[in-house]
Amino acid sequence: MRTTIVSADRGDIARIVSGRASGRPTIAAVIDRDQVLHVARLARLRLTEDEVGRMSSELSTILDHIEKIGELDLDDVPPTSHVIEVENVLRPDEPRPCLPRERALEQAPDAAEGGFRVPSPGS
């Protein structure tokens, strides 16, 4: 079985597919050891033999899910950046009274001239 890399129709998802003469190409059922080691090397990861086997299985499962998503008719679905509505949960940025300088400096290890004294970056 020959393995090639192609782009998905929607979303520019890179998929690993097996080249078959008949029917639509499908994602390879198993990501082999060499492919896992190649990705690990690119990510600068050192994997044990057990991890290589586990990653092979997990990556294959992920690609199977991507293939299932690719089968959906999403022509009428607008693109989104989040699956749920996102709101700004921060308070409004409005001026309010600040901490008095004396109180802010009372526990400073080295206060001087109304501010915090810090070491010079060159020393």
> Which pLDDT tens digit goes with each residue over 24-80?
445 555 688 999 999 999 999 999 999 999 999 899 999 899 889 889 998 898 888
Paired with 5 in beta bridges are 16
| Whole-Å CA distances, 55 to 58, 68, 115 | 5, 20, 54
| Confidence (pLDDT) at 84 | 85
| pTM for the whole structure | 0.42
Task: Give the Cα separation of 57 and 32 in Å (integer).
Answer: 9
| Confidence (pLDDT) at 1 | 38
Higher-confidence residue of 7 and 46: namely: 46
The domain segmentation of the chain, as residue ranges, is 3-70
Higher-confidence residue of 21 and 41: namely: 41
> 93-104 burial by CB neighbour count: b if 16+ within 10 A, else e?
eeeeeeeeeeee
For tokens 């190649």, what's the residue? 38
* Confidence band of 6 (pLDDT split at 50, 70, 90): very low
* Confidence band of 19 (pLDDT split at 50, 70, 90): very low
* Structure token pair of residue 118: 């810090």
CB 36 within 8 A of CB 47: yes
> Which pLDDT tens digit goes with each residue over 85-117?
888 778 888 999 999 999 989 888 888 888 888
| Confidence (pLDDT) at 14 | 38
| Confidence (pLDDT) at 87 | 81
Paired with 15 in beta bridges are 6
Task: Give the Cα separation of 108 and 19 in Å (integer).
Answer: 68
